[in-house]
């Protein structure tokens, strides 16, 4: 049985190699096996990283992964490989998710960069931005105090920067962008798996007794914030926050002036809640100006729903409060 499985997996790999891609149905006809038997083989190959799945049901295809360079080929300082493996992620033009050092090599080769030299620069960049993070959180209150005259958030954190100089979007920034743009429940679930432990620690430390999710403006089949709420499964009451419909929808990310963003949040966000809580955690996906979080916190306090409001964004900008227009 074991020998047959090895032969079948080799046939699958050769078939995909020769044609560039293959669907489950193609492989089932080619191998003369049931769909169930083929799925079992494909799942094993996926787990081993020998193939990559692209597309969404019912149009799912399997391709070979981007060539993974042998890590021993490069001489890096001690600990550098671990840092890159933990922090780096790139999405290829064909939509392949390549994590860690293989992704870093791919990124360097696409740009004609020397891997070893660029690795040292990347490590220095990771360490530089890592200084702003404590217990997995970045304190965003400094920026709030230098942006708004009236601040209604008691504390503000984000889990990572959206992007950094030269290397672009961080791993979490990549996850957020492509999870939203592709409306991929699978990517959102993977992202939530990465951030949930940090959020759970924050809930305990700040003694949170209810949570609120900033509602989306743009209508999508798969709404990121709804999926975030569903996958987090936080054991706390959820505050009902509503984004009202207007004749013309104006997303926050399209507004460049701070006063316009404040007005947008003030007139379109409604807190529909009668219960009262001591400390509420307010979650958003990407922190641009901070206007939406601040205005929502204002309404929560004015309506007596919360005594304290702590904001948490998955990502935030580093320099100033630039508009993160992609998400």
Could you give the C-alpha distances from 170 to 117, 177, 187, 212, 254, in angstroms and in order? 19, 10, 15, 25, 22
> How far apart (Å, rounded) are the C-alpha atoms in residues 278 and 271?
16
User: What is the model's pLDDT at position 271?
Assistant: 94
User: What is the model's pLDDT at position 6?
Assistant: 61
> How far apart (Å, rounded) are the C-alpha atoms in residues 93 and 277?
47
Q: With a cut of 50, say whether residue 4 has pLDDT above it.
A: no
Tell which residue, 280, 285, 288, has the closest CA to residue 255.
288
User: What is the model's pLDDT at position 261?
Assistant: 77
Average pLDDT for the chain: 87
- Residue 314 CA, distance from chain mean position: 7
Give the HSE-up count for residue 294: Cα atoms under 13 Å, Cβ half-sphere: 22
What value does the mean pLDDT take over residues 211-232? 90
Tell which residue, 222, 215, 151, 218, has the closest CA to residue 187.
222
Residues 186, 190, 197, 208, CA torsion sign: negative
62-116: pLDDT as tens digits:
888 765 444 557 888 888 989 999 999 999 887 888 888 888 999 999 999 999 9
How are strands ordered across the β-sheet holding 22-23? 22-23, 59-63, 52-56
Q: Are 202 and 208 in contact (CB under 8 A)?
A: yes
Q: Are 164 and 125 in contact (CB under 8 A)?
A: yes
| Alpha helices (runs of H) in the chain, residue ranges in sequence order | 2-19, 24-31, 35-48, 80-87, 100-111, 115-130, 141-145, 171-181, 185-205, 224-232, 258-268, 291-302
User: What is the model's pLDDT at position 60?
Assistant: 82
User: What is the model's pLDDT at position 153?
Assistant: 96
Q: Are 139 and 126 in contact (CB under 8 A)?
A: no
Q: With a cut of 80, say whether residue 326 has pLDDT above it.
A: no
30-68: pLDDT as tens digits:
999 999 999 999 999 988 888 888 776 777 888 887 654
Of 220 and 280, more confident: 280
Beta bridge partners of 164: 168
> How far apart (Å, rounded) are the C-alpha atoms in residues 237 and 2?
51
Q: What angle do CA 292, 297, 302 make, to 5 degrees?
A: 130
Q: Are 285 and 327 in contact (CB under 8 A)?
A: yes
Residue 324 banded pLDDT, cuts 50, 70, 90: low
Q: How many helices (H) and strands (E) does the chain have?
A: 12, 16
253-301: pLDDT as tens digits:
776 777 877 787 778 888 999 999 999 999 999 988 888 999 999 999 9
What value does the mean pLDDT take over residues 303-325? 81
Residue 3 banded pLDDT, cuts 50, 70, 90: very low
Q: With a cut of 70, say whether residue 323 has pLDDT above it.
A: no
Domains of the chain: 2-63 (1.10.10.10), 71-130 (no CATH), 133-316 (3.40.50)
User: What is the model's pLDDT at position 321?
Assistant: 42
pTM of the model: 0.78
Q: Are 316 and 161 in contact (CB under 8 A)?
A: yes
**Residues near 269 by beta carbon (within 8 Å), at least 6 away in sequence:** 214, 215, 241, 242, 243, 244, 292, 295, 296, 299
151-199: pLDDT as tens digits:
999 999 999 999 999 999 999 999 999 999 888 898 899 999 999 999 9
Tell which residue, 272, 297, 268, has the closest CA to residue 284.
297
């Amino acid at each position: 049985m074991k020998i047959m499985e090895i032969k079948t997996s080799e046939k699958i790999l050769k078939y995909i190699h020769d044609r560039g891609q293959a669907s489950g149905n193609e492989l089932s006809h080619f191998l003369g096996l049931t769909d169930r038997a083929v799925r079992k083989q494909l799942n094993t190959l996926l787990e081993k990283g020998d193939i990559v799945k692209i597309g969404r049901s019912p149009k799912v295809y399997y391709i070979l992964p981007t060539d993974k360079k042998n890590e021993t080929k490069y001489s890096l300082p001690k600990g550098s490989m671990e840092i890159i493996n933990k922090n780096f992620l790139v999405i290829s033009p064909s939509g392949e998710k390549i994590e860690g050092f293989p992704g870093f090599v791919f990124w360097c080769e696409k740009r004609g960069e020397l891997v070893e030299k660029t690795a040292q620069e990347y490590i220095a960049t990771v360490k530089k931005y890592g200084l702003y993070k404590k217990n997995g959180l970045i304190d965003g209150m400094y920026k709030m105090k230098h942006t708004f005259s009236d601040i209604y958030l008691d504390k503000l954190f984000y889990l990572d920067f959206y992007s950094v100089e030269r290397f672009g979007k961080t791993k979490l920034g990549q996850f957020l962008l492509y999870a939203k743009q592709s409306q991929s429940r699978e990517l959102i679930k993977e992202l939530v798996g990465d951030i949930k432990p940090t959020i759970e620690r924050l809930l305990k430390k700040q003694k949170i007794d209810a949570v609120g999710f900033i509602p989306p403006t743009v209508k999508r089949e798969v709404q990121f914030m709804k999926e975030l709420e569903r996958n987090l499964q936080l054991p706390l009451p959820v505050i009902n926050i509503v984004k009202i419909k207007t004749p013309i929808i104006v997303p926050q990310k399209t507004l460049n002036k701070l006063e316009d963003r404040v007005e947008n949040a003030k007139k379109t966000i409604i807190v529909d809640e009668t219960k009262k809580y001591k400390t509420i955690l307010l979650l958003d996906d990407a922190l641009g100006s901070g206007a939406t979080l601040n205005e929502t916190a204002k309404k929560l306090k004015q309506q007596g729903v919360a005594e304290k409001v702590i904001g948490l964004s998955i990502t935030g900008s580093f320099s100033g409060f630039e508009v993160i227009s992609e998400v």
